[in-house]
Structure 1
Amino acid sequence: MIEYKKAKLSDIVSMQNLVSPEVESGIILDRSDDEIATNIRSYTLALDDGKLIGFCALHVHAPSLAEIRSLIIKEEYRGKGVGTGLINKVIDEGVGLGLQKILSLTYEKEFFEKLGFVEIPKESIPEHKIWADCIKCKHFPVCNEVSLIKNL
């Protein structure tokens, strides 16, 4: 049975090990151990029998807007509902925080659409998001990611 829980600082090494192939391929942005530690409260983990199989972060940009970041699922668990479970957990967290919208920049448009996200023009994303994160990406400024948003 899959368990979802908030990350702890002691989880950072396992998190980095899980995400490193996707970082190397440019699918997910590189985050340093220090950056993860600073934002540790935003991460939710998926565990199977105590072993890390996935995680994502809910990064708050403004009182009304957050972003789902760094969604990663161990390859053998993909397509089994783990990602949906993680997204639902962070959506519930966003509702509890009083957010109005959650943003996602992704290559997995259909996955997010199934969860109620709607595609929006990238130009409508807050500027601080583009310059704070996108500029670090190896694909910047030519990006194939799709921006989607979900109203809560």
Structure 2
Amino acid sequence: MKIELIKARLSDIENMQRLVSPEVESGVILIRSSDEIATNIRSYILAKEDDGEIVGFCALHIHASSLAEIRSLIVKENKRDKGIGESLVLKALDEAKALGLQKVLSLTYKQSFFEKLGFVEIPKESIPEHKIWADCIKCKHFPVCNEVSLIKTL
């Protein structure tokens, strides 16, 4: 099957929630309400198969005029290790460049995945404070978090 990378639509939210649900329950991905996804729907990029099934997605969330974040990266378990996650991140990075952003942040448990794409580890203390209080505080692991913070300069 061919994978197409497209922008998410509001009608995709239910299937996106179903795909990400196991990772949210395990605490690997931060929970996002359907309303929050709807509000930020323009940030989401989907990986869809020919039959329309969503097999992955991520969001490019803008924090400031120079900084965005790759977040909610998910690939369906039986579709992993096929380059879909990498394609999603590269598409998001292209979008970030086109918008004139200078840096893209990632908080992840998959450090080596992002390092292969040119991200480098940074101290968590350098993450913008509004990120911590807007997102991290909602996490089941807060304040003891094992995620690694990485950044890529564009």
Listed one character per residue, the Cα deviations across residues 16-49 of structure 1 (whole Å, up to 9, x for unaligned) are 0000000000000110010000000000000111
What is the CA–CA distance in structure 1 between the aligned matches of 2:117 and 2:81, rounded to whole Å? 14
Report the residue type matching 1:53 in the other structure. Answer: V
1:45 matches 2:60: no
Unaligned segments of structure 1, at least 5 residues: none
Residue 66 of structure 2 is matched in structure 1 by 64
Shift of 1:67: 0.3
Q: TM-score under structure 2 normalisation? A: 0.98
Residue 90 of structure 1 is matched in structure 2 by 92
How many residues are paired up? 152
Residue 57 of structure 2 is matched in structure 1 by 55
What is the CA–CA distance in structure 2 between the aligned matches of 1:65 and 1:127, rounded to whole Å? 13
What is the CA–CA distance in structure 2 between the aligned matches of 1:115 and 1:15, rounded to whole Å? 24
Listed one character per residue, the Cα deviations across residues 95-134 of structure 1 (whole Å, up to 9, x for unaligned) are 0000000000000000000000000000000000011100
Residue 115 of structure 1 is matched in structure 2 by 117
Identity %: 76
Q: TM-score under structure 1 normalisation? A: 0.99
Q: For 1:139, what is the secondary structure of its paired residue? A: coil
What is the CA–CA distance in structure 1 between the aligned matches of 2:128 and 2:53, rounded to whole Å? 36
What is the CA–CA distance in structure 2 between the aligned matches of 1:132 and 1:12, rounded to whole Å? 21
Shift of 1:69: 0.6
Q: For 1:30, what is the secondary structure of its paired residue? A: coil
Listed one character per residue, the Cα deviations across residues 52-99 of structure 1 (whole Å, up to 9, x for unaligned) are 000000000000000001000000111110000000000000000000
Residue 29 of structure 1 is matched in structure 2 by 30
Residue 76 of structure 2 is matched in structure 1 by 74
What is the CA–CA distance in structure 2 between the aligned matches of 1:147 and 1:48, rounded to whole Å? 31
Report the residue type matching 1:145 in the other structure. Answer: E
Q: What's the Cα RMSD here? A: 0.4
What is the CA–CA distance in structure 1 between the aligned matches of 2:119 and 2:33, rounded to whole Å? 28
What is the CA–CA distance in structure 2 between the aligned matches of 1:77 and 1:92, rounded to whole Å? 23
Shift of 1:51: 1.0
